Chains A and B, each alone.
Chain A
Amino acid sequence: MQLIFEKSRQGRGSVLLPACDVPEVALPEELQREEALRLPELSETEISRHYTALAKRAHGVNDGFYPLGSCTMKYNPRIDEEMAALPGFTGIHPLQPADTVLGCKQVLDTAKQYLCEATGMDDITFQPAAGAHGEFTGLLLMKAYHEANGDFNRKKIIIPDAAHGTNPASAVMAGFTVVTIPSNEHGCVDLDALRASVGEDTAGLMLTNPNTVGIFDPNILEITEIIHQAGGLNYYDGANFNAIMGVVRPGDMGFDVVHLNLHKTFATPHGGGGPGSGPVACKAILAPYLPASAIQNGQDGTEGRLQLKAFYGNFLVVLKAMTYMLTLGAEGIRNACEGAVLNANYMMHGLKDVYPVAYAGDHCMHEFVLTLEELKKETGVSALDVAKSLIDHDIHPPTMYFPLIVHEALMFEPTETESRETLDEAIAVMRQLYQMACENGEEMHHAPHHAQIKRPDEVLAARQPVLRYQWEQA
């Protein structure tokens, strides 16, 4: 379809502002913009239709099944959206006097109460805007803690090879060196490797539990104890928190700091890539280092607390998550977790006789990883081919080729908000694709066949980047 710039016609537009009712002031010539400002010029009808057409070429979890592993694509309740659109929240300036923002404070206090209780932590910051931002924040808390104790040599963060890619990237941003430890034959932390890697230079461990193959590490208490014994701190990557909430708490498992992805576990929408919210909860020993807003405290920013972004975080996202938590309550939070784990096990059970499960055990947690290595050897049909074939069935593909320790990986996370019929249908489609791979795999190399586009040329996109629309030379 056409780009909005290609639909633009000079002189079209809407009347949105009244005429200026004060004398007009212009910038001195030397400061004025010289280039034309080529923004689109369209009527409101055309704008409405343009974006409606774009929306029809998008797929959200409220449109259909979205089992994207590690992303917890659960249904996004509409009441949460409606509450976040209340003028009593959207119209509040971040620097209003404290006695005029008591409602905002109550939102943050309530969210803090629920999240600290669910994680077993003492304090929290809502400033981080996303999970990776939260990781960076949590690591900075660990760094500040060690430095306050005079421990300037704790420079190493231990990260399992199955971890999300953001973990090592965040550790480097926080000034640490990454020590990667291998997973054992169960996909869990190799305790001997862990023991061998700790020392006086250990700042801490970053761990997802359940890990990225959907397995809860049974040695978790030994793991966190090894780190503590070495003088390090334990960081819990909350990307998979949906698998344990209400059942077990990071704070009880020896973790000192945790980030949560409100846009995953707490049902806030992901907006096609954000805004998310990545609050960081911590034990009391780390609370003195939590970030703040310099301008709120009347400072110039050159010294004082850590700060990750302006003001206090993605407030409206926190508000949506709070609304969700009020709805669920204590038992609802646990039920959501159990429902997610049940759905994942049900789906895994329906597929495991045709698609081998990586690190298979009796059960999984909220997600599971299939390995299509054998299928590819036998039929030439890859994980990518199967994933792309799902698109023709209006199912969003699972996470592909992750974690890196599994070959031809497809990672499914159905979440608790899917019905048995949806799961049955997805299982049937996956089994049908297996049959097709064995009988007529060739066709699957070109899937999807009925989508918005055929497979795009990603190599061309990267070799000759076209990152913006170019007007034809006049």
Chain B
Amino acid sequence: MGHYIPSTREEQQAMLSAIGAESPAAFFADVPESVLLKEPLNLPSGKSELEVRREVEGMSRLNKVFGTVLRGAGAYQHYIPSIVKYITSKEEFVTAYTPYQAEMSQGILQSIFEYQTMICELTGMDASNASMYDGASAAAEAVAMCRDRKRSVALVSATTHPDVVATIRTYCYGAGFEMRMVPEKDGRTDMEALAEAVTSDVCCFYVQQPNFYGNFEDCTALGEVVHNGGAKYIMGCNPMALALMKTPAACGADIAVGEGQPLGMPLAYGGPYLGFMAATSAMTRKLPGRIVGETKDADGNRAYVLTLQAREQHIRREKASSNVCSNQALCALTAAVYMSTMGPEGVKQAAGQSMSKAHYFADLLAAVPGVTVQNQGAWFHEFVTTLPVPAEKVLDALAEKDILGGLPVKDGVLWCVTEVVSKAQLDKAAAIIREVCAACN
């Protein structure tokens, strides 16, 4: 049986004697006899480290790691530089708690301050918090920041990732506010429908950029419509695309959020990922969660602390702006190390290559008889195609050749290409798809 208790049985007995207790049972005297467990838990016995390793490695082998991934839909395979993993496994970072004690946590606090700066740079916004659980919960918390007594309806574009929609819906259900969808038209938010939807009871509008189908929305125009209606404007952005596209700040957003996973985090079956959140200075004091600020210490030297805590649950309790306590600090550190390692040119390169390769692949697929690329106008690294055959036939054929194909969605298949996929891999995938489509016709 494995354990992490330093004291031997004899030492524990000596400690019990020192405090005048006969056995640990004395400490549980307040537990009603009727509910004290009489038997051990109905679980296997503990194991040695080697046995545990064998068992868990065995589980990992039941999974299939695809050599080529052409699927995104909220989780993206980008290249992670070697140094990112090494730095983020340093025990001082990994095993620290939230930096409540600034005098022995300057390293953690400074790393968060640097992360906040990078998120501000990426989004163009004035202030960032220390991180959120993920992009979907960040979107839901952003909506919560906008609500007040007069305006309690949240508008969400129908071009948003389904998990983000469901998460916003869940948070609205909790607080008793309404979520309304703004319909899409040809793969983008229906601008006219939005103009009609922004009524005087609407607090905000959420749009995803690029949207679920990969399309770039006209975010500047959307922002104008929202602001004309007196509501707040929230943009959920892919951080990789932010290296290339007009920033939320330039589009007039009041709050920018997003899923930070593309910035150095592996796919990892959906988590842990990183929610980022940044706002205009007017909304800074409504930000949920931890925020690090710069100050001076008693000697006048530069120092960092958790700040603006008057917003937070441990001070405000039921009047807090949010209940967020733990966040995703190590993932924020990961994103910061990733951005520092890639540098501005490296992030632009990863984003640009993803976009270029996705377009190359879309052209290959468009040339297959019966396949139509649905995306019109500008799009990033995801696109939807129709197929002349059932999607599973194509996906199964790809899987046989170690390729994870796109995700089946209601109008076809949603494909994604990132910089890690080579031209040769794309050519191969396209050839397989062509073959399946031809054989079935």
Contacts and interface: CB of A to CB of B under 8 A. Distances in A.
A22 B19 CA distance: 73
Nearest to B341: A47
Given A107-B59, A246-B40, A273-B98, 17 more contacts: A14-B343, A22-B356, A27-B378, A39-B339, A53-B107, A66-B97, A82-B53, A88-B60, A93-B267, A166-B313, A171-B318, A269-B95, A272-B93, A310-B270, A339-B12, A420-B14, A452-B103
Contact of A5 (B52, B111, B117): B117
Interface stretch (B172-180, B193-201, B225-233, B368-376): B172-180
Contact of A48 (B64, B83, B134, B324): B83
Nearest to A392: B103
B238 interface: no
A267 B293 contact: no
B440 interface: no
A445 B161 CA distance: 53
B245 A32 contact: yes
B282 interface: no
A158 interface: no
B271 A129 contact: yes
A20 B356 contact: yes
B317 to A, nearest CB: 4
Nearest to B349: A17
B30 A316 contact: no
Interface string B176-209: 1000010000000000000000000000000000
A168 interface: yes
Contacts of B158: 300
- With most chain B CB atoms within 10 A of its CB, the pick from A63, A88, A303 is A88
Interface string A42-64: 10100110111111111111110
Interface string B332-373: 010011011111111111101101110110000000000000
Given A130-B325, A342-B16, A416-B4, A47 B24 contact: no
Nearest to B131: A274
B318 A73 contact: no
B350 A300 contact: no
A327 B3 contact: yes
A61 B86 CA distance: 19
A391 B86 CA distance: 28
A63 B117 contact: no
- With most chain A CB atoms within 10 A of its CB, the pick from B5, B19, B292 is B5
B331 A275 contact: yes
A60 B19 contact: no
A294 B86 CA distance: 35
B6 A418 contact: yes
Q: Give the top 7 A-B pairs by smallest Cβ distance, nearest first.
A: A88-B60, A311-B270, A301-B165, A329-B46, A271-B330, A60-B95, A273-B329
A273 B130 contact: yes
Contact of B37 (A37, A173, A249, A304): A249
Interface string A114-136: 10011000000000011111011
A25 B417 CA distance: 13
A331 B280 CA distance: 53
25 contacts: A17-B350, A20-B356, A23-B360, A24-B356, A31-B216, A48-B87, A58-B93, A89-B268, A92-B63, A96-B71, A248-B37, A272-B98, A273-B108, A301-B160, A307-B170, A309-B134, A310-B164, A311-B269, A319-B56, A333-B43, A391-B104, A418-B6, A453-B103, A454-B301, A460-B295
Interface stretch (A197-205, A212-220, A371-379, A430-438): A212-220
A468 B271 contact: no
Given A60-B91, A89-B60, A273 B163 contact: no
B422 A54 contact: no
- Majority secondary structure of chain A interface residues (helix, strand, loop or mixed): loop
B254 interface: no
Given A93-B66, A310-B161, A13 B345 contact: yes
A367 to B, nearest CB: 12
A191 interface: no
Contacts of A139: 174
Contacts of B441: none
A21 to B, nearest CB: 4
Contact of B325 (A132, A454, A468): A132
Nearest to B304: A456
A338 interface: yes
B75 A468 contact: no
Given A59-B105, A215-B30, A345-B21, A130 B12 contact: no
Contacts of B12: 339, 342
B35 interface: yes
B273 interface: yes
Given A89-B60, A248-B31, A301 B94 contact: no
A53 B87 CA distance: 11
B343 to A, nearest CB: 4
Interface stretch (A98-106, A230-238, A279-287): A98-106
A314 interface: yes
- With most chain B CB atoms within 10 A of its CB, the pick from A1, A87, A165, A338 is A165
Interface string B286-299: 00001111111111
A294 B162 contact: yes
A299 interface: yes
A383 interface: no
B41 A118 contact: yes
A435 to B, nearest CB: 22
Interface residues of A, number: 210
Contacts of A4: 114, 336, 340
A288 interface: no
Contacts of A329: 1-2, 43-47
A173 B174 contact: yes
Nearest to B122: A37
A26 B359 CA distance: 10
A391 B63 contact: no
Interface string A450-474: 0111111110111001111100000
Given A37-B122, A270-B98, A169 B5 contact: no
B161 to A, nearest CB: 7
B323 A420 contact: no
A33 B104 contact: no
A59 B127 contact: no
A410 interface: no
Contacts of B246: 30-34
Nearest to A416: B5
Nearest to A451: B103
A44 B337 CA distance: 11
B163 A63 contact: no
Nearest to B352: A24
A76 B4 CA distance: 9
A149 interface: no
A38 B292 CA distance: 20
Interface string B68-101: 0101011101010101011101111111111111
B173 A140 contact: yes
B434 interface: no
Interface string B249-292: 01000000001000000111111110000000000100000111
Contact of A104 (B113, B126, B269): B269
B6 A417 contact: yes
Nearest to A251: B35
A180 to B, nearest CB: 8
B95 A462 contact: no
Contacts of A304: 166
Given A60-B94, A332-B46, A457-B297, A316 B107 contact: no
Contacts of A61: 95-97
